[in-house]
Chains A and B, each alone.
Chain A
């Protein structure tokens, strides 16, 4: 017996989860039917799936319960959801600080039930009209607030409101994403490269690394159009002064080229890339071609596979 999105379905003997759901008329994408292509991923919320259904998945995906439904048997009780489903939580705007002409640091109340890791993102939803946008979490789970870096688009649907209405109520849905600190390799060099408010998840992961005593070198690159856009300079400077292993670079030149010239050997790195989609795609490809495994390159998926079909261009 499997339960999918709250509804129980009877399985036939030797049937896979995917086949069972398809037979009941549900739409689940699939391709190779062999546990390789990851088209058919679902999320298990209760029950245990065999380890082989999670082989080859990113650690963060596997930890969130993702598995290949096409090779998963139905002989045990399983409660399942789609990958992009997540709970909603009530929150409100606590504090807004204008960090530059285009960016505000916004603090939201931290919903007690929300379990997340710094660097993941959530959808912020305005309750009155349901408009939502993704924002990365730059604060630690141990903080009493959630910190967002909000790029203010004067004609934007949400950002002018979010960077102004202290006290306003909103909803948070998430968390998503795999820009998170990996705890079991404290010696690895970490590369953080981001443009604009793509810095937010990098700051989240960096804070997490520092809180857990990361020993390897930390290289942070923040790219922006001009010096007025380096909205987090003083905070980064303070971090650097307290942390000799941290190197901070703020650049308004070609960030991809700069990073590659500085780090021609990046195989051992764990890299976090966020910000403008073309920047992320380009640097990710170059690091991969230099020999870095894709599983060691973390980037936000806003532009390629935003949950629930929400299309978003280049939000932080």
Chain B
């Protein structure tokens, strides 16, 4: 039995996905303004940690840290959905099968309440 992380392709898959994903997010007019003033190198590293987590990989993502990181941003349901869409689009573009995309989306969705500060 291999894990989702192994099936998707492990660290190499994350490395391949992170720039595709981050470029999508930065080009998405619905949410790109949240990234106008952040340091891009730092943010890319954070996106990589997020993708590792969504791919079921070894990332220690605590709800408390996610909450603290997003608390002041006042994000909406729409913002969260935009990120999810970009995640799905990234995986599709990289040829990941639909059932694995669904698994990754389910993991990513689990942080929703923390990100939206609910």
Which residues of A does B touch, CB under 8 Å?
31-34, 36-39, 56, 58, 281, 284-285, 288-289, 293-294, 301, 304-305
Chain B contributes a number of interface residues (CB within 8 A of A) equal to 27
| Contact yes or no, B41 A34, CB < 8 A | no
* C-alpha spacing A294/B44, complex, angstroms: 9
Which chain A residue shows the least CB distance to B22?
A288
Given contacts A37-B45, A304-B39, contact A32 B26 (CB under 8 A): no
**Cβ contact of A36, chosen from B19, B23, B38, B48, cutoff 8 A:** B48
| Contact yes or no, A31 B23, CB < 8 A | no
Residue pairs across A and B with Cβ atoms less than 8 A apart, 14 shown, are: A32-B49, A32-B52, A33-B59, A34-B49, A34-B58, A36-B48, A36-B49, A56-B48, A58-B41, A281-B37, A281-B40, A285-B40, A289-B27, A294-B40
Which chain B residue shows the least CB distance to A297?
B40
A285 contacts across to B, CB distance below 8 A: 26, 40
A32 contacts across to B, CB distance below 8 A: 49, 52-53, 59-61
| Contact yes or no, A33 B60, CB < 8 A | yes
A38 contacts across to B, CB distance below 8 A: 41-42, 45
Which residues of B does A touch, CB under 8 Å?
14-15, 19, 23, 26-27, 36-42, 44-46, 48-49, 52-53, 57-61, 65, 69
* C-alpha spacing A110/B67, complex, angstroms: 48
* C-alpha spacing A36/B59, complex, angstroms: 8
Given contacts A32-B60, A58-B41, A301-B39, contact A37 B26 (CB under 8 A): no
Which chain A residue shows the least CB distance to B38?
A304
* C-alpha spacing A37/B60, complex, angstroms: 11
A289 contacts across to B, CB distance below 8 A: 23, 26-27
B15 contacts across to A, CB distance below 8 A: 56
* C-alpha spacing A58/B41, complex, angstroms: 9
B69 contacts across to A, CB distance below 8 A: 31
